């Protein structure tokens, strides 16, 4: 896996073996994701289920001011730290379950929250509820969820899904807070 664009373009990253614990987001999906959002020198980004850290490092490569990485798997956190060292970035890396991570980041106010949990994950309603409860997403922030293309997520109270894009076996769902439409 490599960084697609920005100052770390073509940097190869480590990943965990297999896709049971993490499943790296393909280059094509990362390119499409970052072509659809605006990242600049004031952007705050949370990679909630970070895996190898590729999404967050891509955000840094494209100029994000701050990226927080989280993964509950210790091996994944080690890979994230190795990858950050490779691009000479010293960033906050948390080794927490998503609930504890969101609680830890209460009122942090991110522009983007990227959630790409394992395919078997079923607790999306809890993620959305905790993001709201802990006030982690900025007023005009966007939460992006990566799922299998055949996964149907229900409507979540307080959020509007305003965009859906399919890429091979995956899709990206983009959400805003309801009151911001």
Q: What is the pTM of this model?
A: 0.93
Q: Cα separations (Å) of 58 from 14, 17, 30, 80, 156?
A: 14, 20, 8, 12, 28
Cα–Cα distance, 162 to 175 (Å, whole number): 6
The per-residue pLDDT for 29 is: 87
The per-residue pLDDT for 55 is: 96
The per-residue pLDDT for 28 is: 83
Structurally, what CATH architecture does the domain formed by 27-180 represent?
3-Layer(aba) Sandwich (3.40)
The per-residue pLDDT for 27 is: 76
The per-residue pLDDT for 19 is: 53
Domain extents in the chain: 27-180
CB distance 91 to 122 below 8 Å: no
The per-residue pLDDT for 137 is: 98
Q: Which residues contact 8 (CB under 8 A, 6 or more apart)?
A: 57, 60, 61, 87
Q: Helix (H, G, I), strand (E, B), or coil: what is residue 65?
A: coil
Sheet of 66-70, strands arranged across:
92-94, 66-70, 44-47, 110-115, 137-148, 170-177, 159-167
Per-residue pLDDT tens listing for the chain (181 residues) = 889 999 999 999 999 876 555 556 777 888 999 999 999 999 999 999 999 999 999 999 999 999 999 999 999 999 999 999 999 999 999 999 999 999 999 999 999 999 999 888 999 999 999 999 999 999 999 999 999 999 999 999 999 999 999 998 899 999 999 875 4
The per-residue pLDDT for 23 is: 58
CB distance 51 to 23 below 8 Å: yes
The per-residue pLDDT for 124 is: 96
The per-residue pLDDT for 73 is: 95
The strand pairing partners of 165, in sequence order, are 172
């Amino acid at each position: 896996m490599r960084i697609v664009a920005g100052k770390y373009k073509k940097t190869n990253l480590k990943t965990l073996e297999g896709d049971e614990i993490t499943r790296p987001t393909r280059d094509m999906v990362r390119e499409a994701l970052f072509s659809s959002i605006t990242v600049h020198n004031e952007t705050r980004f949370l990679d909630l289920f970070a895996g190898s850290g590729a999404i967050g490092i891509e955000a840094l490569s494209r100029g994000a001011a701050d990226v927080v990485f989280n993964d509950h798997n210790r091996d994944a956190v080690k890979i994230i730290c190795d990858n950050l060292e490779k691009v000479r970035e010293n960033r906050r890396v948390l080794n927490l379950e998503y609930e504890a991570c969101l609680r830890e980041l209460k009122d942090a106010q991110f522009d983007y929250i990227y959630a790409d949990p394992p395919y078997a994950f079923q607790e999306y309603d809890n993620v959305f509820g905790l993001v709201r409860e802990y006030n982690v997403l900025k007023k005009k922030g966007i939460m992006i969820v990566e799922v299998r293309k055949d996964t149907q997520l229900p409507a979540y109270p307080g959020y509007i899904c305003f965009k859906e894009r399919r890429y091979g076996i995956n899709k990206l769902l983009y959400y805003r807070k309801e009151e911001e439409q």
